[in-house]
Copies of this chain bind each other. A is one copy, B any other.
Amino acid sequence: MIQTLEWTDQGVRFIDQTKLPTEEVYVNCTTHQQVADVIRNMVVRGAPAIGVAAAMGIALGMKNSKAENGADLKKDFDQICEAIRQTRPTAVNLFWAIRRMQEKFEKIRVQQVPQIKQSLIEEAQRMHAEDIAANRAMGRHGAALMPASGGVLTHCNAGALATAGYGTALGVIRAAVEQGKKIHVYADETRPFLQGSRLTAWELMKDGIPTTVISDNMAGAIMKQGKIGAIVVGADRIAANGDVANKIGTYTVAVLAKEHGIPFYVAAPISTVDLETSDGSKIPIEQRNAKEVTHIAGKQMVPDGVAIENPAFDVTPAKYVAAIITERGIARAPYEQSLRQLSQQNREKP
């Protein structure tokens, strides 16, 4: 089992996703500022993993707090939450995790300082365990949507490395394979950060699931050749109407899927659904450093002075989405209703 991130007595330990697939290196964060940096620099990435990392960062900051009374501890808590909030704008799981830790804090703030700290650590660890359980449930729900055999295309990495473990989109694929389906994964390399070639290929190979890496622009040709029976991707935020913000390039894949009559599925925990955002146009899209596009492995690929766009995400309108697979079941259009219903329903006991 890949340990994407882990609470330890020494701090929060992350596999360094910027070093994969050639180096398996771990980073130990002993302060919440280090956790914030690790999120910002994409040592850890993937919406659900960012959520758990945020909770653990807050717990770590609390653990380190020198506050001796509830009022001072609250001041530290607010500051820590703010530092974590300022890391990345698009994945709603970050804000969801902060809010959940805030709600926990409110509930227990009358307790003694050491008890509060301990409860927040436990809450973060619970979120870690719940995320894995949610992914397993998504897998159970989604596996039936996967073809009995043949190619399934995915974009970016929505796997164990994007979550506390098992994965969302790759969790669905893993569950289908566990059920005996003969799936061959086509992984878009996913420029500029190459999560597909570096991360998805790495973790699927560890599981012995056959995988072919293609550059993003090959997806159309591969679909036209009839090699793809389904597409499944993750999500960074899903608006109330079912519009999906996910890694840049997802929208292009969705348009190609429509043109070829291939079902396009999104797998994401309910914490990714943001009922307060009515549609995709209101989702803030992070622009990242131009150097991610201009330089690869330190080598300059674009002449000086040329403009760059580097949005980290795009929005796929709901009309392209055949179904959204959550841990509570499968949502289908009209998403306004189905997502609201699933969001308000009691959490499925995994």
Q: What residues make up the interface of A, taking CB atoms closer than 8 Å to B?
A: 21-22, 155, 188-192, 194, 197-198, 201-202, 205, 210-222, 224, 248-249, 251-253, 255-256, 258-259, 293-294, 296-303, 305-311, 314-315
Contact = CB atoms under 8 A, between A and B. Distances in A.
Contact of A307 (B211, B216, B253, B258): B211
Contacts of A259: 255, 258-259
List the 9 closest A-B pairs by CB distance, nearest first. A217-B249, A220-B252, A297-B299, A221-B314, A191-B215, A21-B303, A216-B217, A212-B307, A297-B297
A198 B300 CA distance: 9
B307 A213 contact: yes
Contact of A216 (B216, B255, B299, B308): B216
| Majority secondary structure of chain A interface residues (helix, strand, loop or mixed) | mixed
A247 to B, nearest CB: 8
A307 to B, nearest CB: 4
A103 to B, nearest CB: 35
Stoichiometry (number of copies): 2
Nearest to A297: B299
A311 B212 contact: no
B301 A198 contact: yes
B306 A212 contact: yes
A205 B304 CA distance: 9
A251 B189 contact: no
Contact of A309 (B212, B258, B307, B314): B212
B222 A251 contact: no
A252 B251 CA distance: 12
B314 A220 contact: yes
11 contacts: A189-B191, A189-B293, A189-B301, A191-B191, A194-B301, A197-B293, A213-B306, A218-B249, A218-B309, A252-B252, A255-B255
B298 A212 contact: no
A202 B157 CA distance: 32
A211 to B, nearest CB: 5
A300 B22 contact: yes
A213 B308 contact: yes
A249 B252 CA distance: 11
Residue of A205, A252, A297 ringed by the most chain B CB atoms within 10 A: A252
A302 B189 CA distance: 9
A160 to B, nearest CB: 14
